[in-house]
Structure formats: C-alpha cells, structure tokens
Structure 1
Amino acid sequence: MLSSALFRTGQILKGRAGAYTITKQVQETVWFVKTHRAQETVVIKSVQGHPRVENERDVLKRLQHRTPFLRPLVDEIEDLSTTTIALKYLQSDLLKETVRQTLNREELKHVCRSILEALKVIHEQGLVHTDVKLDNVFVNLQEDIDRFSEVQLGDLGGCYSVTSDWATSGTLVGTPMWSSPEVLMEMPWNTAADIWSFGTLLISLIYGGDFHLFRPNVDRDHEEYILGVVMEQLRCFGPFPEKIHDIASPETFQSIIWLSQQLPAEKRTPFDLVTEREVMKKDKDFIGKIMKLDWRDRPTAKELLEDKWWHDE
C-alpha cells in the first residue's frame, strides 16, 4: 500500500498559477490532484532528498516551448521545503496501451514520430533523456483509427548533459532492459544511448503485449541481471565490431571479448533472421539501422525522422 509523509488526501496545495486538492497517490512520488478553478486532473511530483524533480522542472522550463511532444510543466507548488511540480495529466501510457491492444500501423508511426521529435529537441540541447521506455511515454485517447490524440515523452528527471560527469564517467542510468550496451557496460555515453532505447521501444510496440526482446531469464534483483540483458543484446545484434576497441577501456574490451566467447555465432539468434510473419522486412531494415552495438554507428533522431520508413506504406 502506498504511503507518504509528504501529502495526504484532501490536502490543499497552492501553486503560482492556481490551487490544488490532493485526490490520490499513484506512485511513491506521484499524486493526482484537482484544480480548484476548473476541477481538472493534474499530476504532482515531489521527492525528498533527491534532485530529480528539480532537474525535471529546469529541463522543461528550457525545452517545453520548443515542442508539443514533451509532457509539460504547468505549475510549481509554493511554500514547501521540497521542490514540487505540477505536470499535465494524460490518460494512459504506451505500456498500458500496447498491453491492452497491439498498435496498428498508423498508431505505431504516430507514437514513434512523436518520441523522435521529442528526442530531437532534447538532443539538440546536448541532453540525454536516459530512460526512454514505454511507460514514460504518456498518451491521451480518442475514438478513431488512431486511438492517440496526444503523445508526450515524460519523466525528464534523469536528463543529463553529454558533458556531465554522469555521461563522461559512464555512470549506470535508466532501466536496464531499455538501456544501451554502452550504458550497461559503464562506458561513456551520449545521445545515442536514447536512440538504442527508442529502437528497443519500437520492437516492443511491434510485437505488442508486455513483450521485451532483451528480457533475461533471471529476476530483476539477481546479481547477473544486467549481464543477462547484455547477453540478450549480443544474441540478437552481436557481435561487437572490432573497432569498439577504439572507445572501450582495456578492461571493458576484455569483457567484450569474454562475452563474445560465451555467445559464438551458432548460439546467436540474429534479429534480421526473424520471419516476415513476426516483423515485416521494412521494419527489420529500419530497426537494423538503429540497433548498433557501437553507438557511433547509430543514426540521430533527426536522421531517423528523415528515413524512408515513414513513407513506405
């Protein structure tokens, strides 16, 4: 059962733009509230002793006017010791929606374009989202061929500059099953890490349900969980190219050699050999451009938005 000393149901919060009443706690650090003026639902986020919420506020103030594809900041709560922000409420997220019903082609391309448009803006500012995954993409729904009236990338609390110590030192960030090989192997990372995560998300959307290509056969809290994810990445998109030696530390390169020995060619299941019945060739070709183990080989968000994949129907 969720509990928090921060807020209680019925509590009134005053922001710079309006007043709100707490109606429900939905996550440890997330609440739904109603606006006093219009009785609309808004999302409140607050975390004690951690800079994530402050970081999300600062990133959104900097970027949200540049694109409609980021879930925007709508207010900041005043007179609290902990930074507390109000964000736009959307009805659902992509994880819930793809479990409910696999996306059709129009929906698939709509959400993918929206995510890439958001990433393009983030990346142009030298920032990395670091946690691109289905349940961080929020949607509003409609009754139409395309069920999504709005698609917005959210949870920007883990955004970091490509020049930050986090990125240059190879700090482990994000959610492992969605993270790039360089992040999981604690190599320096940059905006290309988000492109890998986008590709992982696209694969999950194509298959539908709660499918994940890189889900290892050990539990999340198992000590070899991250290793298991990397092995699945190698199984489908390996091996690492020899030139990875140029950017990997000697220790990491030795780890790559060891991993390659554990997965010789006969044990791999290359994604490009997946049948047409599972994934259409044009989708496999597009995914193949994205899922490169060496981040230097991945296209940018801008380049992906210009790909012929969008016009192949």
Structure 2
Amino acid sequence: MSSLFKIGRILNGRLTQYEISKQIQETVWLARTLTNDNPDVIKSVRDHFRVENERDVLRRFQGRTPYLRPMIDEIKEPSEPTTIMLKYLDDDLCHASDIRTLNRKELRYVSKRILEALNTLHEDGFVHTDIKLHNILVNYAANSDSKDSNRFTDVKLADVGSSYPADHKYAKEGTTIGAPVWRSSEVMLELPWGTPTDIWSFGVYLIRLIYGGNFDIFASRGVTFDDEGFNARILLQHFKYFGPFPPKYAELFGRGEAEKELDMVIQWVFDNVPESERKPFSQVSSSEVSREDREFICKIMKLDPRDRPTAKELLQDR
C-alpha cells in the first residue's frame, strides 16, 4: 500500500487528477487537484470490503441527502485497490466538542442533520452501524467566536463503509458492529439488529454532547477496553440507567434453548445491578439535564429496539 500512495504521486480520477499531499491515517490521505489547492480525502484499503462498500452506498444515497459526506470522484489509475475521493471537512464532532461544549443552537443544528441522514438510510432499510462523534464531520463558520453562535456551516455523517441493509446476513446473525460504548443492547447481546440500533447510538451521542467533555455514560470507572468483561460492564450500565429489560425482550432471540440463554443473561444482569445502584435516567435532576432533554433521551433509549422511535418520528419532535 505504501508503494502505491506516496507523497507527490499523481492519481487519475474519473473527473480529474490528484496529487497526494499528506497521509493522515493508515488508509487515509489528503490530496489536491492539479488546479486547486483545496484538499480532498483519499480512502483506500487493499483486500478489504469497506472502501468498495462505502463507494456503493454513497452511489446509492448521496444524491438524496446533503448530510452524508459525499464521494466526489473515483480513482481509475491505479485501478486496484478500490480508491475513492471524499469531501474534506474541517473537523469531527468529537474534537469540536472537546474544544467547546456545544450550545443549544449548535446541538439542534447538528442533531437535525444527522437525523436527516439517518432517515434517508433507514427509508431503504440501511443501517449505518457506527454512529459516533468521530463519524460526524463539520465545517466551521468564518466568525464563530461567540459562545452563543453556531460555529458550524456544514454537517456530514461519514464512514458508511460498514452500512448494510437490515436483511443482510450480518444483521440477521447479530454480527458485532460499532464501538462498545455506542452499541445498543441487542448488539451487545449478539442479537439480530436493524435501524433501531442507529437510534440508540444517536441517543448516546446526545447524552455525551449535552454533558460535554469526554463524558461516556456507559463507561465504567477503572475499567478499560482491554479488561476482561468490558462489554459485560457496558451492558450492566445499560440496565443501570435505562432498565429493566421488558419481559417480551426474549422474543427477539427466538425460542427454546436460545430463549433460555437470553433469559439467563438478563437474569445475570439483574442480579449484578442491585437496586441501590440503579440510577434511572428519567430521574436525573433538571439542574443536570433539562426536563425536555431528559424526556427526549428517554424516548430514544429503550432497551427493546421495537420500542424506539424512528428517525422520521424524532424529526417531528419539537
């Protein structure tokens, strides 16, 4: 890969030529056209499905919404591996929110656009599978110093390389997707998943931005990603703040031994979160989270995916 993508190499796209100017990740580079100094983003991975899948998903959807990061060209020389050119944006929302917690105006502005992008995907039954702050890209306004102003001019949902239809084998088989603290309960339990798992991750996004900083509601203190039982600890946090699991939840897992196994896991969760440690998010004080925000989040964060609203329904919420 390194021999193909070197600083200064010229790539021939379908629309124009590009010169590689900088590597920013293992599989991501910046490039400029030979007639324009504005950067574009190159994404390419040899022998991996993600870039090809991202290309195919963007071909299908980017003309239907302005809120997915668009593919602006495809590289035809070299023809292998699959290489796409994507729109460059100033920052991702993780870094932007670390710099300064989003104000109300910014939070509404960004959230509506992410829901619009999700609604477009979900209308065709596609699941993004990796909603998180790093995958929400923004451009900054020229004059945005005021804490009450909206810093952002563009918002794009990025990285659709792992987006699949809800009837794909990965979804039906409960293949693990996304980053642990953003995963829904059905994904943590390796159950079949669909568009509601994106809605759960959107709810996690809202909680983090409302609280600001590096706040992760499902991260256990003193427990790291490398620790044994990390995922189980997150599931306990789901129950702690948004439980209990409804009795009908086992229906998602089928019947017989499979249903018994799920019942055992849910019982284990119940036994390991004593009542004294349960902190329903619905009871968070208004001084911590406003009543309207609290009600909106509780509408989203349902442990049973069938109880979550759709992106279209959330867009109608005042």
Give TM class, smaller chain. Answer: over 0.9
Task: Say whether the 8 Å CA contact 1:4–1:28 is kept in structure 2.
Answer: no
Deviating 4+ runs (over 6 angstroms) = none
| Shift, 1:6, TM fit | 4.1
Q: How far apart are residue 54 of structure 1 and its match?
A: 0.4
Corresponding residue for 2:96? 97
Aligned counterpart for 1:184 among listed residues 177, 182, 188:
188
Match of 2:209 among 170, 190, 205: 205
- Identity across the alignment (%): 49
CA deviation profile, 1:251-287 (whole Å, cap 9, x unmatched) = 1221111111111322211112222222111000000
> Paired residue for 1:236, among 235, 241, 248?
241
For 1:137 and 1:242, locate their aligned partners in 2 and report how far apart those are by CA, in whole Å.
Answer: 35
Report the counterpart of residue 293 of structure 1 in structure 2: 303
TM-score by length of 2: 0.94
1:22 is paired with a residue of what secondary structure? strand
Q: How far did residue 5 of structure 1 move?
A: 4.3
Using the TM superposition, name which of 78-87 and 156-165 deviates more: 78-87
Give per-residue Cα distances to partners, 1:19-71, cap 9 Å, x unaligned: 11111111111111111121210001011111000000000000000000000
Q: Does 1:195 align with 2:167?
A: no
Return the alpha-carbon distance in structure 1 between the equivalents of residues 290 and 70 of structure 2. Answer: 35
Q: CA separation of 1:270/1:33 partners in 2, compared to 1, >3 Å: closer, same or farther?
A: same
Aligned-partner Cα distance in 2 for 1:49–1:279: 46
AA in 1 matched with 2:86: L
Question: Equivalent residue of 1:232, what SS?
Answer: helix
**Farther off after superposition, 232-241 or 130-139:** 232-241
- Cα deviation for residue 4 of structure 1 reads 3.8
Cα separation, 1, equivalents of 2:314 and 2:173:
28
SS at match of 2:77: coil
Instruction: Name the CA distance, whole Å, in 2 between partners of 1:253 and 1:124.
Output: 32
Partner Cα separation in structure 2 for residue 63 and residue 253 of structure 1: 39
Question: Would you say the 8 A contact 1:138–1:151 is kept in 2?
Answer: yes
Q: How big is each residue's C-alpha offset from its partner over 1:127-182, in whole Å with a ceiling of 9 and x where there is no partner?
A: 00000000100000002411110000000000011000000010001111111010
3-state SS of paired residue (2:72): strand
Q: Helix, strand or coil for the counterpart of 1:157?
A: coil
Residues 152 and 241 of structure 1: CA distance in aligned 2, closer, same or farther (over 3 Å): same
The residue type paired with residue 62 of structure 1 is R
Which of 232, 251, 268 lines up with 1:227 in the alignment?
232
Equivalent position to 2:313, from 279, 303, 306:
303
Residue 47 of structure 1 is matched in structure 2 by 45
Which residue of structure 2 aligns with residue 311 of structure 1? none
Corresponding letter in the other structure for 2:153: S
- Tell me if the contact between 1:171 and 1:186 (Cα under 8 Å) persists in the aligned partners: yes
Shift of the alpha carbon at 1:10?
1.3
Structure 2 unaligned runs (5+)? none
| Contact 1:18–1:37 (8 Å) recurs in 2 | no
Structure 2 vs 1, CA of residues 103 and 260 (structure 1 numbering), >3 Å: closer, same or farther?
A: same
Which deviations, in whole Å up to 9, do the C-alpha atoms of 1:92-126 show, x marking residues without a partner?
01001110000110100000000000000000111
Contact (CA 8 Å) 1:170, 1:186: kept in 2 or not? yes
Residue 12 (1) aligns with residue 10 (2): yes
* Paired residues of 1:120 and 1:302 also in contact (CA < 8 A): yes
Q: Quick check: 1:272 aligned with 2:276?
A: no
